[in-house]
Amino acid sequence: MQSTQKIVISASRRTDIPAFYMNDFMKAIRRGFFRVINPFNQKESLVMATPERVHTIVFWSKDYTNLIKEQFIECLQKIGYNLFFNYTINSQDSTLESCLPTLDHRLSQLETLAGIVGPDAIFWRFDPICYYRRADGKICHNRHDFLKIADAASDMGVRNCITSFLDIYTKVQKRLSCFSGFSFIDPPFPNKIRILQEMAENLKKRNIALMVCCEKQLLEFIPPDSGIRQSSCIPNQYLAKLYGSDVSLRKDSGQRIKLGCGCQISVDVGSYRHQPCYHNCLYCYANPSVAYKKSNDENWFGSN
C-alpha cells in the first residue's frame, strides 16, 4: 500500500551537501525532520526523516572528504539509514572545476566509500561531457582522464557510470560573460553518438555499464546492442533490490521526463538559494558561492 511505502531523500541535486552542509544535515537527521522550501513557489514543507520513514538517503557530491573524515556514513548507518552515493568524478580540469581536490584524491575517496558501503551502493557520474573553446582559440574537452577513472572504478567494483552532454543554462551563460574569449561548444549530433558509443565500448571492457541522463533524442539513434541505456540517478527500483521493496517506483514528475530523465520519486532537501555551492564549477546550474556570503545563511534546513 502507498501509505506504508518509505521515502527516498535526495541530498541533493541543488547543491553539494556532503561537501559543505553535513553538520546542518545531521542536525536535521537528529531532530527527525527537514524543513524544505520549494524552489518554484517558495512554500515550506516538513519532511519527516526518521529511519522508519526513510527507505534510502541518496547523496550527490564531487567531494566526500568531510563525509568520510567525520565518519558521518558510519553514524547514519548506526542510526539505521540505508545509504546510496552518486559520485561525480570528472577529469582534472582547472578551467571547468577549479575548486576540487586532485583527481587522485577523489579516486582515493571512491575506494574508501566502496570499502564502507560496498561498490553496489555507488553510481559513478562522469558528468557533464564538456567541449569548449579557450580565449586562444584552442578547442578542448574534459574526457582526457576518462579511462583512468574507469580503470579505478572497475578495480573497486563500481559497475555503473552515468553521463550526459553539457546543457548551457541561462545562469551558465551569464557566468560566461565574465570570461573573455571563452565559450562552450555543443558537438554535432553524430559526434555525440560516436562519443557515447566509444565510451560504452571502453566501459564494457571494464565490466561497467553506461547510462545517459536526459539524452532521450540521442538514445533513439543509438543501436540497442551498444548497451547504453537511460539513467535513473534516483534509482528506486535498484534501491529496492539493495534495501527492500517498501518504496515507490513512480517516475518523478518534477524532473525532465520528456528529455529522458528516468529518476523515480524522491524528496530533495537541498536549497539553491540558502546553500550555495563552493565548488564554483563553470558549467554548473547550482548557485555559486560568489553570489552569497556564507555567514549570512544561518540555518540551512530550518530552525531547530
Q: So what's the pLDDT on residue 292?
A: 36
HSE-CB for 188 with a 13 A CA cutoff: 3
**261 contacts: CB under 8 Å, gap ≥ 6:** 213, 214, 252, 255
* Surface-to-core class of residue 165, CB atoms within 10 Å of its CB (0-12 exposed, 13-18 middle, 19+ buried): buried
In this predicted structure, the answer to whether residue 303 has a pLDDT above a threshold of 70 is no
HSE-CB for 206 with a 13 A CA cutoff: 24
**Helix/strand/coil for 242:** helix
**203 contacts: CB under 8 Å, gap ≥ 6:** 150, 161, 209, 210
8 A C-beta contact, residue 271 and residue 31: no
Q: So what's the pLDDT on residue 240?
A: 98
H or E stretch at 123: strand 122-129
Q: So what's the pLDDT on residue 3?
A: 53
| 40-99 pLDDT tens trace | 888 899 999 999 999 999 999 999 999 999 999 999 999 999 999 999 999 999 999 999
pTM score, two decimals?
A: 0.93
| 211-261 pLDDT tens trace | 999 999 999 999 989 999 999 999 999 999 999 999 999 999 889 888 889
Q: Which three cell numbers stand for residue 253?
A: 514528475
In this predicted structure, the answer to whether residue 162 has a pLDDT above a threshold of 50 is yes
**Helix/strand/coil for 45:** strand
H or E stretch at 117: helix 103-117
8 A C-beta contact, residue 213 and residue 162: yes
Q: So what's the pLDDT on residue 165?
A: 97
State phi, psi for 125 to the nearest 5 degrees. -105, 115
- Cα–Cα distance for residue pair 274/290, rounded to 1 Å: 13
Q: So what's the pLDDT on residue 276?
A: 93
The band of 291, judged by pLDDT with boundaries at 50, 70 and 90, is very low
Positive/negative CA dihedral, 10, 41, 294, 104: positive
Nearest Cα to 275, choosing from 255, 304, 302?
Answer: 302
Q: What mean pLDDT comes out for the span 105-124?
A: 98
- Cα–Cα distance for residue pair 29/53, rounded to 1 Å: 12
Q: So what's the pLDDT on residue 297?
A: 40
Q: What mean pLDDT comes out for the span 106-125?
A: 98
